[in-house]
Structure formats: C-alpha cells, structure tokens
C-alpha cells in the first residue's frame, strides 16, 4: 500500500502536479502575462508549491544547468547551452519622455527612431537587462 502511494506521489511530482517548482524571474517581467500564467497554474495545480527566484539571465541559466531552478522566464535571446528554449510571447516596451520631445506626438515609436538617443537606465534591479535590450 505504501509503495503504491509512493509511486503515485512520484508520478504526480514528475508530471508537475505536486511538489515544488523553482522559477527564475526578472522583476521587469514579473507582472502581466507571467503573473496571469502562474496564477492560472496555481489554481489548477494547488498541490504544487512555487518558489520564485529573482535575478538576471546571467544568473538563471547557470542555475537551470545546475538544477537549482526548474524554469526561468527571460528576455531577449540568452545563450542557454544544454537548455530547451521556447519563445512564448512579445511584449511592448514603453519610453517615457517630455511632452515637448520631438517624438512625443507619435502614436508609435520604432527602434530606428531611438537610434543615437541617450537613455537613463537604473543600476538597480532590472537595469542591466534594460541596458542590454537597448544596446
């Protein structure tokens, strides 16, 4: 009887229906699509405990390779040797500027409109991630 229960438990954990899932996130993408996705997963998989680890791709990819994380949501196209990588969605990026700026009246701004412009990027939290995206 105990062996049967242990087998069922191990099977549920293997299917992601029980146990712990360690998820790597960057603060800049922790809301919106990801929040809705993880909320929906939590509703349908109440037996799964989700642990969040905040960091950058440079930290998350090695953590996955060393089995310290199960999955990570990353921006851009990270080098992730020996990992399965899947593009899930695209997200808009917003630019804040003065109402007097020459681009302020446009409905949309292309990357080419921003070429050779100066940006202020925070050094805290997702600053390096945003810097890499801009570069």
Taking only the tens place, the pLDDT of each residue in 58-76 is 889 999 999 999 999 887 7
Geometric angle at alpha carbon 37, from 31 and 39, rounded to 5°: 85
Which residue in 123, 117, 122 sits closest to 135, CA to CA? 117
**In terms of domains, do 42 and 13 share one?**
yes
Task: Name the least confident of 97-106, 107-116, 120-129.
Answer: 120-129
Give pLDDT, residue 15.
Answer: 61
pTM comes to 0.64
Number of domains forming the structure of the chain: 2
Give the integer Cα–Cα distance in Å for 85 and 77. Answer: 9
> Cα dihedral sign for 129, 27, 39, 96?
negative
> Is the pLDDT at 14 greater than 70, yes or no?
no
Question: Which domain CATH number covers 26?
Answer: 3.40.190.10
Residue 32: give the domain boundaries: 2-72
Q: Spell 28-51 as b/e; 16+ CB within 10 A means b.
A: ebeeeebeeebeeeeeebeebeee
Judge if 61 and 111 occupy the same domain: no
Same domain (yes/no): 10, 53: yes
């Amino acid at each position: 009887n105990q062996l049967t229960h242990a087998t069922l438990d191990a099977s549920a954990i293997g299917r992601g229906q029980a146990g712990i899932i360690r998820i790597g996130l960057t603060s800049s993408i922790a809301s919106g699509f990801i929040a809705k996705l993880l909320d929906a997963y939590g509703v349908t998989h109440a037996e799964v405990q989700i642990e969040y680890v905040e960091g950058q791709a440079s930290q998350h990819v090695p953590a996955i390779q060393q089995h310290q994380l199960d999955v990570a949501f990353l921006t851009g196209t990270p080098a992730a040797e020996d990992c399965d990588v899947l593009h899930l969605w695209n997200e808009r990026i917003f630019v804040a500027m003065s109402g007097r700026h020459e681009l302020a009246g446009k409905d949309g701004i292309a990357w080419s409109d921003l070429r050779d412009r100066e940006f202020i990027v925070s050094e805290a939290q997702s600053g390096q991630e945003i810097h890499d995206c801009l570069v």
